[in-house]
Amino acid sequence: MLNKITKQQVHHVAKLANIPIDDSEAEKLATGFRETLETITDLQSVDVSGVEPTHQVTGMENILREDKVDDSRTFTQEQALANAKQTHQGFFVVPRLIKK
C-alpha cells in the first residue's frame, strides 16, 4: 500500500490542509510521503499487545471550569480585529464564501 502514494492523494491532502501545490510539487511530495510513511511503518513492528490504548499522555482527567463569565480575558472589538487583513463595521471580512 505504501508504494502507492499517488499524486491524487497528495493533492487531496494538500487541499485538506489548504496548501496550494502544483503538479511537480505533488510529484516530489509523493516521494516524500512514501519515505515518511515507511519510517512510521517501523513503529508497526513494536509489540503493543500488553499496552492499553490511550488518548493522551498527561494522565490528567476532568480539567473543567465552572460556568462563569471571565471578562478579564475578553478582547475589545478593536483588539479582536487588530490583526485582521480587512474589516467592515466591526466584522472580519473574507472573500465571499457562498456563490450568489
Partner 1 sequence: MSESCKYHLVCGMEVHAELKTNSKMFCGCKNDPFGAEKPNSHTCPVCLGMPGALPVANKKAIEWTIKLGLALNCKINLFSKFDRKNYFYPDLPKAYQISQYDIPFCYEGVIETSHGPIRITRIHLEEDTGKLLHKEIKGEDVSLIDYNRSSVPLIEIVTEPDIKSPEQAEEYGRALRDIIRYLDIGNCDMEQGGMRLEANISLQENGKEGLPNYKTEVKNINSFKFAKQAIEFEMERQEEILEEGNIPKQETRGWDAKKSVTFSQRTKEDAEDYRYFPDPDLPPIRFTTEQIEKIRKDIPKLPHVLVKEWKENYGVEERYSSILFNSPSEAKWLEELFVLSKKEGLKANKLVGAMVNKNVKYNFTDKVESVINEFKKLNKTDDVSDDDLIKIIDNVIKANADTVARYKAGEKQLINFFFGQTMKALGKKVDGGLLRKLLTQQLDK
Q: Nearer to partner 1 by C-beta: 4 or 68?
A: 68
Per CB under 8 A, 61 contacts partner 1:
yes
- For the CB of residue 14, give the shortest distance to partner 1 in the complex, in Å: 11
Q: Nearer to partner 1 by C-beta: 24 or 79?
A: 79
**CA-wise closest residue to 29 among 45, 44, 50, 12:** 12
CA atoms of 44 and 53, how far apart (whole Å): 15
Q: Nearer to partner 1 by C-beta: 47 or 71?
A: 71
Distances (CA, A) of 26 to 14, 40, 64: 9, 20, 43
Query: Cell 480575558 identifies what position?
Result: 73
- Contacting residues toward partner 1, per CB under 8 A: 12, 16-18, 55-56, 58, 60-77, 80-81, 86, 88-98, 100
